[in-house]
Structure 1
Amino acid sequence: MSTAGIERSHRAILFPGQGSQFIGMGRDLYHLYPRSAKLVFDEVDEALGYGLRALIFQGQQEVLKLTENAQPAILTTSIAMLRVLEIEFGFDVAKACNYALGHSLGEYSALVATRSMSLTDAVRLVRLRGEAMTRTVSSKNIQTAMSALVVRKGRLPELEEAIKEINEKLPKDELVALANINSSFQVVISGTSKGVDEASRVLQERRFAARAVDLPVSAPFHCSLMKEAAQVMEDALQNVIFKKPCVNVISNVTARPYANVEEIPKLLVNQITSTVEWQRSIHYCKEEDVEEFLCFGPGKVLANLLKKEYPLDCVKSITSADDILRHTEEYSSK
């Protein structure tokens, strides 16, 4: 297929974070596309030195969802889907897109997609990232939690201010932080169990949030409790070579494209303890006239958020071989 049909400006490519994993993801691509998807899974197994592919395709969900497994698994599957589109159908990220961004660990996928870092380096880093995040909490021997909150219409700014106020009033050893601002109607809070519970209660009492749902995660991501994990990643990232991305990659921390290559490892370290500014990252894309979002990887969380926030935009999900065939036909007909 010619790339001419898919050369179009005002498009962003997106990659998911942890939570979108499931047993069997990417298996259809592995068997259908030996010169693209299969090579990705094989490269990752060699890089990690164990059978991640076997775990993804036929393992147990309880094992796959462990942070140290889920993160490299999602990155691998996401990149396999992109590589099929590139190698088999002539998709060119540099020509077809204006921006690339990923949610939390998905930022590493975006950097691989834009040829800023190698797949081998990326999967090793996110494996280490997952291990460090889990180990940081277990070493502290404290009860932690994360909760997703439905934000009432127009109350996001007030909710952000309230989180700061609540945190200041908590006892010395308790804390709560905004882990993710996913959209104008959804945030995730993170911290100690008591801190998260208190924040959930107050935010609902003040009618900033409609309800809270506890998340089954192994660590309180994106808060100051992750400082030790950030230090581990800072040391590891010093040994990785980054190149200038072929397309602007938007940082979770700043909600802006990286200003230079030197900024990439610094912001990846900061990301571990900082809020994932997803809503503002998408808003930046909208200010830059992006009207089409192409979501690679397992699950449709990011696509569903976008469709609810921007119902008139073109949002497409690449989650399977069927999706790839359907969307390449659409592109080639333009």
Structure 2
Amino acid sequence: MKAYVFPGQGAQYVGMGQDLYENHPLAKELFEKANEILGFRITDLMFEGTDEDLKQTKVTQPAIFLHSVILAKTIEQSFSPEMVAGHSLGEFSALVAAGALSFEDGLKLVSQRAMAMQKACEMQPSTMAAIVGLEDSVVEEVCQSIDEIVVPANYNCPGQLVISGTFEGIDKACEILTEKGAKRALKLSVGGAFHSPLMEPARAELAESINNTAFNTPVCPVYQNVDAKPYTDPEKIKANLISQLTAPVKWTQTIHNMLADGADHFTEIGPGKVLQGLIKKIDRKVTTEGINKLQ
């Protein structure tokens, strides 16, 4: 079975999507529509901006979403997913690609999500760290033992768990996890503690927008981050999408479930190769490929 996966924040690069814009009329039309919806020329920042421009949350999230979704729309003839999933922000790309959300509504929600997350980060300075080389249960136990907000945020693959929380909580966790044998406990250069209780103000803000947006039944099951299970019911998809901001991304569990349900070929659509790498670490035997430019 064919599974398509969509990347999240961190996969961006300068020049992303430019070949699509220049060589495909539908892509150009959608990019221009995006400039209009966002109220600034995101295409200028994507094609000719600096790494710093692209790192701004209000730019990064819509840019990755646009690259992924417009790619899926330009390969429509060969795009026949039997299941889809996206990592964090990528879940919105997956929902649009599978027809659960319109392009316009998906972009508006992603833009609102980015702004709401930015605001939450400014309210409470916080960060994330990648923990490599320990069992998930050890990381979970250490997070629980700390008298600060610090939680598992991204279950990326076996032996790689990203934690999220206050600066003090993350520092303390990194120290203890290093003592317990972590190969690496590396603080990430991110704006704040994504997928943690510190994103509650953003979750509350986004909930209203999601509830007021029309969702359709997708063409195939969408495996959602919150519990790694497949969904086609629009109301359940909405509820899971709202919970996603403060809950961990269960990527390892998602891929295991997709494999158990018959996935034997994963295609990553959008910038970078991060998800292909993670999937290979979850199951070396599975076939993976990436599409990041016009075919």
Match of 1:66 in 2: 56
User: What amino acid does structure 2 have at the position aligned with 1:20?
Assistant: A
Match of 1:6 in 2: none
Q: Does 1:79 align with 2:69?
A: yes
1:28 corresponds, among 4, 19, 28, to 19
Q: Is the 8 A contact 1:44 1:119 kept in 2?
A: no
1:130 corresponds, among 92, 110, 114, to 114
Give unpaired runs (5+ residues) of structure 1.
Answer: 1-9, 325-334
Tell me the alpha carbon deviations over residues 67-108 of structure 1, each in whole angstroms, 9 at most, x when there is no partner: 11100100000112111211xxx1242xxx221000001000
Match of 2:171 in 1: 197
Q: Which range moved further: 51-60 or 220-229?
A: 51-60
Q: Is the 8 A contact 2:37 2:108 kept in 1?
A: yes
Tell me the alpha carbon deviations over residues 309-328 of structure 1, each in whole angstroms, 9 at most, x when there is no partner: 3222110010123xx3xxxx
User: What amino acid does structure 1 have at the position aligned with 2:197?
Assistant: S
Match of 2:139 in 1: 159
What is the alpha-carbon distance in structure 1 between the residues aligned to residue 279 and residue 123 of structure 2?
37
Q: Is the 8 A contact 1:132 1:229 kept in 2?
A: yes
Match of 2:102 in 1: 118
Is the partner of 2:117 in helix, strand or coil? helix
Aligned-pair CA distance for 1:259: 5.4
Q: What is the aligned-residue RMSD (CA, Å)?
A: 1.3
1:291 corresponds, among 236, 259, 264, to 264
Match of 1:252 in 2: 225
Match of 1:224 in 2: 197
1:104 corresponds, among 88, 95, 98, to 88
Tell me the alpha carbon deviations over residues 206-246 of structure 1, each in whole angstroms, 9 at most, x when there is no partner: 22x21112111112100000000001001111220000011
Q: Does 1:149 align with 2:134?
A: no
4+ residue segments displaced more than 6 Å: none
TM-score (norm: length of structure 1):
0.85
Is the partner of 2:231 in helix, strand or coil? coil
Q: Is the 8 A contact 2:9 2:64 kept in 1?
A: yes
How many percent identity over aligned positions?
Answer: 38
What is the alpha-carbon distance in structure 1 between the residues aligned to residue 43 and residue 24 of structure 2?
15
TM-score (norm: length of structure 2):
0.96
1:267 corresponds, among 236, 240, 255, to 240
Which protein is bigger by CA-based radius of gyration?
A: 1
Q: Does 1:177 align with 2:168?
A: no
Is the partner of 1:273 in helix, strand or coil? coil
What is the alpha-carbon distance in structure 1 between the residues aligned to residue 123 and residue 127 of structure 2?
16
**How many residue pairs end up in the alignment?**
295
What is the alpha-carbon distance in structure 2 between the residues aligned to residue 284 and residue 25 of structure 1?
31
